[in-house]
Amino acid sequence: MMRARGADSHPESWLRATDGGLYCVPGDFHVDPHRPAERAVITHGHADHARARNGKVLATPGTLAIMRARYGAEAWRESQALDHGETVRIGDVTVSLAPAGHVLGSAQAVLEYKGARVVISGDYKRRRDPTCPPFEPVACDVFVTEATFGLPVFRHPPDGEEVAKLLRSLETFPERTHLLGAYALGKAQRLIRLLREGGYDRPIHLHGAMGALCDLYEAQGVPLGPLRAVGDRDKKELAGEIVLCPPSALSDRWSRGFPDPLTVMASGWMRVRQRARQRNVELPLILSDHADWDELTRTLEDVGAPTVWVTHGREYALVHHARGRGFDAKALSLVGREEEDET
Amino acid sequence: MKPFAGLLERLVFTPSRNGKLRHLQRYFAETPDPDRGWALAALTDGFERKYATPSLVRPLIEARADPVLFRLSHDYVGDLAETVSLMWPGPAEAARENAPLALSDVIETVREARRKEVPALIAGWLDRLDPSARFALLKLLMGGMRVGVSARLAKTALARYGGIDLDRIEEMWFGLSPPYTDLFRWLDGTGPAPAVDDRLMFRPMMLATPLEGEDVARLDAGAHAAEWKWDGIRVQLAAHDGQARLYSRTGDEIGGSFPEIAGAADFDAVVDGELLVVAAGEVRPFNDLQQRLGRKSVTRRMLADYPAHLRAYDLLFEGGEDLRALPLDARRDRLAALIARENKSWLDLSPEVPFASWDDLARLRGDARAAGIEGLMLKRRDSTYQAGRPKGPWFKWKRDPLTADCVLMYAQRGHGKRSSFYSDFTFGVWRGEEVVPVGKAYFGFTDAELRQLDKWVRDHTIDRFGPVRAVSFGLVLEIAFDSIQRSNRHKSGLAMRFPRVARIRWDKPVAEAERIETLEALVERAAPDLVAQ
Ligand SMILES: [Zn+2]
Ligand SMILES: [Zn+2]
């Protein structure tokens, strides 16, 4: 691994948390800026990382496709695609994008300057995701990590078990529509793939907010099987079917008209019963695109960076743990990050 | 442990009664003996004691986890058993084992174990289980399942599972004990009905049908007896050979909360009546009785402040003789004789209310606005005692409700079919310049009205907290209620009994809603026992 040599080359001196997000001084660019920046490196397509109206955007082809689908002509002035494994120079900084295993196109931004290397991991997870390549640990001097599920109570169970709960419920309640709330980008498509792997081959019905992103995944080579858009008139006929919708739609007026709807929600927050009950969820599925506690702590060891900066989530617990393990850790407060699992 | 953990999870999140029943039935069908029986005992509070306490469990996690991380986690999650189950070191998935840990292994081991062996046993089990099963294990041993399953619901699931009458299960319930192997064998059709000693068992009650005002004229006044309808809880006292059990209407045994009755019934009879708090000859408001309900231990102070009383109105058995086929008049004569003979301070007869005509009785009903009286009961003098709610022989004739125009303050999202609707309404009345809450109503409106109310709430929200919305004061609800009592549950110091929405007053300005003084005037004092004699 490379080591920072002089004080001026330590990332403390050239990578800053600013009001606009993480800013790389020698490259004059932001990573995941939360307001429009002249030059931006985007880790992935979630709205709290990829915003509209940046000047020049560098991202993976998958992320660019998502941004284009979401923002159209507003997405950027100019874009540059960078595949995993390629490098590009921006100013004096060498930039590459390593897989983050979070959603389609998601990447860690790897920045090298004067022999020091920083990895900004964006959002990531370590378990298998059939819709994107797995997280790749990259040795570095400073590792910037999220901490969405940064408490030891958050330990996501195996995906298969969670999907099996849904399939069991469909058997027990064949007369009820199963309204499945899931984040529209990433979680929805991963769930569909997991259901297909679990042997579910019936058509899956989609809320209006889901269609475009599912089409995009298919166009990017992620087959999702038979999908149907839900019209108002069809609702009555959907007894015993799965209808996928954004979590906010579960308590929305839209959810009326289905036969005896059973609300299902797929999110890492479902691990805590009280949170699931607050949301009136009848079948909580613990399924997240973010690393759980075990994945977060394992990743610190796998990456082995002596310095760790913790961004959004429950920073305090993870910083405490990392220090106990001998890392030089601190919390880096970045404005504008949301708990996207929560919507 | 895993199937039981899955059941608990499904039960806690399933809001509807029917859904819970389906989950229970499926569990009974899929789970072998004796595990399903132990699960049934856990759900119906059937264990003789708690096997673990928080002070036993907490050191186990403190020895294994960083104290700062434990504190942060406990703060976040709230529940100790859940926090421990989630952060217990070990894999997030259970190791595949040749012999998975069965519910019966746990129960049988822990019952045999000495107290000081229990912590090590629990730790060893926690090491083998996944988080959801760890949670189930801890709740099993610590109690407090809180999955929304009453004993009645569990028995209903058993009845449906076995395709037999719920009454039969209720009757034999107190003769059965965990793990209920003989019961399940009978339900499965592979064994005979369990034989139980029936002298102390619960007999399903006879219930009355409601009577609307105009119907009364069609009844034969001479063929009916009238009694006050008491505002307590309906109970059945079964006493035999120095032992007694006090059952609620649903067959739950509540004698432990009322030792002055259950511990003092030394006769041989099954008595049907109303459980009340009566002090110095006065029936106290229902609120007083509530202080006594559901208590595992009763202090001397409770006994003195809220003395329980049984006001009897029917006799089902006496000296082993089944009286249920006798006419009501004959049963009441036997009951009156028994009460006179036994001469207990906590037992009296609910007297007949004499009346000359239905008009006469209607007048009495209209005037009966004392605490402890909900209206009248009309019973055919020749009626036999039949389980369930037969149509006709018994009527309840409730007094007309009171009403008040109240201001809508908060609305909460409902559950199940109502989960997309704001359907639970908190309302209040004026006190000076402010509105103070006096009650909460969940029903009384049609589906179409619910839709309108829901829209109104969404359009007038000024604040949200979780599933609750605060609304601007702009809608008046006419609330009907049976009575109003002092209470410290609400800021107003008042609480309504059985409030429901009578009408939505879209037309009425909020300034014209009721004032607190008006409601205070309706509070019932424990009026002298106004039983007309
Ligand atoms: Zn994300
Ligand atoms: Zn994020």
What pLDDT, in 10s, does the model give residues B302-341? 999 999 999 999 999 999 899 999 999 999 999 999 999 9
B417 touching chain A per CB within 8 A: yes
Judged against a pLDDT cut of 70, whether residue A6 lies above it is answered with: no
Helix B54-62 vs helix B131-142: angle between axes, to the nearest 10 degrees? 150
Rounded to the nearest angstrom, the distance between the alpha carbon of A48 and the centre of ligand 2 is 6
CATH of A11-153+290-331, one of 2.60.40.10, 3.30.420.340, 3.30.499.10, 3.60.15.10: 3.60.15.10
Residue range B445-456: average pLDDT? 90
Note the CATH number of domain B2-142: 1.10.3260.10
Catalytic residue among B20, B139, B229, B379, which?
Answer: B229
Closest ligand to C-alpha of residue A185 is 1
Residue range B30-50: average pLDDT? 89
ω into B179 cis (within 30 of 0): yes
Is it true that A11-153+290-331 and A159-285 share their CATH fold? Answer: no
Cross-chain Cβ contact B419/A255 below 8 Å: yes
Chain center to CA of B378: 25
B145 touching chain A per CB within 8 A: no
Q: Which two tokens stand for residue A111?
A: 């920045």
Q: Closest residue of B to A151, CA-based?
A: B73
Using CB atoms, which residue from B87, B93, B417 is nearest to A152? Answer: B87
Residues in chain B, total = 533
What b-and-e string marks burial along A159-178, b requiring 16 or more CB atoms within 10 Å of the CB?
bebbbebbeebbeebeebbb
Rounded to the nearest angstrom, the distance between the alpha carbon of A32 and the centre of ligand 2 is 10
Note the CATH number of domain B207-230+351-400: 3.30.1490.70
Cross-chain Cβ contact B77/A153 below 8 Å: yes
Q: How far apart are CA A246 and CA A253, in angstroms?
A: 13
Backbone angles phi, psi at B70, to 5 degrees: -65, -45
Output the 3-class SS for A81-125.
Answer: ECCCCCEEEECCEEEEEEECCCCCCCEEEEEEECCEEEEECCCCC
Rounded to the nearest angstrom, the distance between the alpha carbon of A177 and the centre of ligand 1 is 29
More confident residue, A103 or A248: A103
Per the annotation, the verdict on B50 as an active-site residue is: no
Closest ligand to C-alpha of residue A32 is 2
ipTM: 0.91
Rounded to the nearest angstrom, the distance between the alpha carbon of A52 and the centre of ligand 2 is 16
Do residues B87 and B70 lie in contact, with contact meaning Cβ atoms separated by under 8 Å? yes
What pLDDT, in 10s, does the model give residues B348-396? 999 999 998 888 888 888 776 666 788 899 999 999 999 888 888 999 9
Question: Which CATH architecture does the domain made up of A159-285 adopt?
Answer: 3-Layer(aba) Sandwich (3.40)
Q: How far apart are CA A257 and CA A230, in angstroms?
A: 12
CA angle, corner B482, sides to B481 and B485, nearest 5?
Answer: 90
Instruction: Give me chain B's average pLDDT, please.
Output: 88
Q: Closest residue of B to A258, CA-based?
A: B417
pLDDT category at B214 given cuts 50, 70, 90 is low
* pTM, to two decimals: 0.73
45-64 in A: which are within 8 Å (CB) of B?
none
Chain B residues whose CB is inside 8 A of the A172 CB are 22-23, 26
Q: How many A-B residue pairs are in contact by the CB < 8 A criterion?
A: 93
What CATH superfamily classification does B402-520 receive?
Nucleic acid-binding proteins (2.40.50.140)
B86 touching chain A per CB within 8 A: yes
Closest ligand to C-alpha of residue A102 is 1
Burial class of residue A154 (count of CB atoms within 10 Å of its CB; 0-12, 13-18, 19+): buried
Domain boundaries, chain A: 11-153+290-331, 159-285
Judged against a pLDDT cut of 50, whether residue A341 lies above it is answered with: no
CATH class of B231-349: alpha beta
Chain B residues whose CB is inside 8 A of the A153 CB are 73, 76-77, 82-83, 86-87
Rounded to the nearest angstrom, the distance between the alpha carbon of B84 and the centre of ligand 2 is 28
Domain boundaries, chain B: 2-142, 207-230+351-400, 231-349, 402-520
The pLDDT of residue A342 is 41
